[in-house]
Structure 1
Amino acid sequence: MPTVAIAIFPGVQALDVAGPVDVFSEANRFIAPNNRYEVTLLGAESTPLRASNGMTLVADATFSEARHTFDLALIAGGPALPERAPDARVLDWLANAASQCGRYGSICTGAFALGHAGLLDGHNVTTHWQHAAQLAAQFPNARVDFDRIYLRDGPLVTSAGVTAGIDLSLALVAEDHGPQIALAVAKRLVVFAQRQGGQSQFSPYLTAPADETSPVAKVQAHVMERIRESFTVKQLADVAGMSARNFARVFVQETGVTPHEFVERARVDAARKLLESSGAALKAIAYDCGFGTADRMRIVFTKRIGATPMQYRERFRSP
């Protein structure tokens, strides 16, 4: 019987726990009794704790009581983890579990706990899109993928934000018992057995600049106000009042992307808003957002967010 341990702590994201637990529980409906998952919630204390949404959770056992080896060990995420390391007892258990379990990993921001336990170095990992850059900066020896819904790197498994823990758990069920069992579980939970696209389709590409009066911010506003137009680095440098070479260098320093990358992201965001809020033809949206043609917009969308404009509209258009 495969054993699964999920570490919980005060402030844990309840859905990071409930999602995987439900996947493994539903999988047991379709698996022979001697091969069913046995899931245990572990915590530093045996007393009830509050999740981030106020829900009360209780660990089945404490870390010190869980002396046997688990087949899979996971740490759930929590809103505070990107800013504050968890209890040292959590980190000690993670480090020990990683050395003994066949598979170990994290849900959502639980990746930060893995980082504090020294388990991310040299590995390909992912986390919630909103905290991916922070994870990469905080643990520079990890290779953080900003877009994947889940990742498997040897025995290490990590997932993107919140509900992506369901995707990861379904993938593990498919690995253990085949895709048909995973599909049956997905149907029971009314979710996709394998979600199309990455988490970029849920995240805004563009954020407000730190200094809204800076030359870079002026250029960004210029682009977004004239998103239908085409731009060259020289044209944008003139808007900033800088030489093309200096502008390109400063732009990358302040934004982390090239001017070309920014323009393409701005076009994608503009198109996303129209796809979500209007029934305009794809060719009209492509023209209004500066792609030129619907084919070009489709190519960029597929590259950027792993879905075509039509697929994106079907998923996110407001009724």
Structure 2
Amino acid sequence: MLRASSDSPKTGAGKPELSVGFVLLNQFTLAAFAGLVDVLRLSADHGGRSRQIHTAWRVMSMDGLPRTSSAGFAIEVAGALPDDPTGFDYIAVCGGNDYPNTYMPPALRDWLQRTAASGVRMLGICTGTFALAQADVIGSRTVCVHWNVLDAFRARFPQVRAVVDHLFVDEGDLITCAGSTAAIDLGLYLVARHCGREKAQQAVRHMMLQGMRPAKLPQAHFYADLTHIQDARVRQAAHFIEQRIDNPPSLDAIARYVGLGRRQLERAFHEALAMSPMSFQRGLRLEYGSWLLQNGHSNITQIALDCGFSDGAHFSRDFRARFGLTPREFKRRGGAEEGTTSPSAVVSERVGR
């Protein structure tokens, strides 16, 4: 079992510039939690010595008992939720794979509501935003969620505006992030705000990052909304394709993955999406390429290889057929123009969205 620090934020003259209380939910994701904590740790002291000088953190759970991450690692927390949360600048609610669970202990709901009402800023980390929405503390604010849970979030909380076109969204008293490495970017943002850009850069250097990504950088999400598709085999095949954009599987490999013959799989795709599995796969790869052209720094040949194309010429030919522009024209003009259609939009149209 891993043990979290039991240190509390300092008070009085020695109070750190930034203090964060972490609330771990069941099956929280390690990457998001650890990334944010490490940004604070590496900004707190010189030489990575981890003394809570400039920043401070405390890891808690609702009842003070350990919480197990989605990877199976148990974290022993420093304690239960405090009666008075105002000793923290932020409360970070860290979620993970337990987001489909619709039950929230009343004690946790009440504490989150009291914390929000007290003026302490809230952070929704990964699917911790589900808990904040369930506790009814979001109101009219816009939230950021990971693209992989967008449909589930919108289905449960249709009154909340959720987006995936940012790494994180700052609404003043509520900041929500997509999770995973976006939590690192959120941490750097907070450190720069409260402790200065120099302290944030200190963490960047220690973590061997290339820099701080801005909140408005869109998530690299390349998937089709298949929630209205009843055929589980098509959904399973689509997920398999999404996971291998850079190394496209053959039609036979996809068919074997879902336990079908290739003709059965092609027939299922045509009935559900009016396209073949290979057309669906090519569309996702081209959408990935369009995102890299707008947000990456690689040349077109490298982007082609990253999207699973054999060379730049093959990529350029397919890209122009889909978008009406060559990759070079697309990049120069800053993205798709009116009249071009993204692959995911084509899929959404064909499933009746």
Q: TM-score, normalised by structure 1?
A: 0.71
Equivalent residue, structure 2, for 1:189: 207
Equivalent residue, structure 2, for 1:293: 326
Secondary structure in structure 2 of the residue aligned to 1:217: helix
For 1:66-215, list aligned pairs within 5 A.
Answer: 68-195=86-213, 198-201=217-220, 203-206=221-224, 209-211=229-231, 213=268
Residue identity opposite 1:280 in structure 2:
D
Equivalent residue, structure 2, for 1:268: 287
Segments of structure 2 that go 5 or more residues without pairing to the other structure are: 1-14, 235-267, 293-302, 338-353
Residue identity opposite 1:295 in structure 2:
R
Q: In structure 2, do the counterparts of structure 1 residues 218 and 42 end up closer, same or farther at CA, with 3 Å as the change threshold? A: closer
Contact 2:65 2:79 in 1 (8 A): no
- Alignment coverage as a number of residue pairs: 265
Contact 1:286 1:294 in 2 (8 A): yes
What percentage of aligned pairs have identical amino acids? 22
Secondary structure in structure 1 of the residue aligned to 2:129: helix
Equivalent residue, structure 2, for 1:220: 275
Shift, 1:48, TM fit: 2.7
* Rounded Cα–Cα distance in structure 1 between residues aligned with 2:181 and 2:142: 20
Contact 1:63 1:89 in 2 (8 A): no
Shift, 1:297, TM fit: 3.8
* Mean Cα deviation higher: 265-274 or 109-118: 265-274
Residue identity opposite 2:44 in structure 1:
N
Q: In structure 2, do the counterparts of structure 1 residues 285 and 42 end up closer, same or farther at CA, with 3 Å as the change threshold? A: same
Secondary structure in structure 2 of the residue aligned to 1:75: strand
Equivalent residue, structure 2, for 1:7: 23
Segments of structure 1 that go 5 or more residues without pairing to the other structure are: 228-262, 305-319
> RMSD in angstroms over aligned alpha carbons?
3.4
Shift, 1:56, TM fit: 1.7
Secondary structure in structure 2 of the residue aligned to 1:73: strand
Q: In structure 2, do the counterparts of structure 1 residues 205 and 214 end up closer, same or farther at CA, with 3 Å as the change threshold? A: closer
Q: TM-score, normalised by structure 2?
A: 0.65
Shift, 1:11, TM fit: 1.8
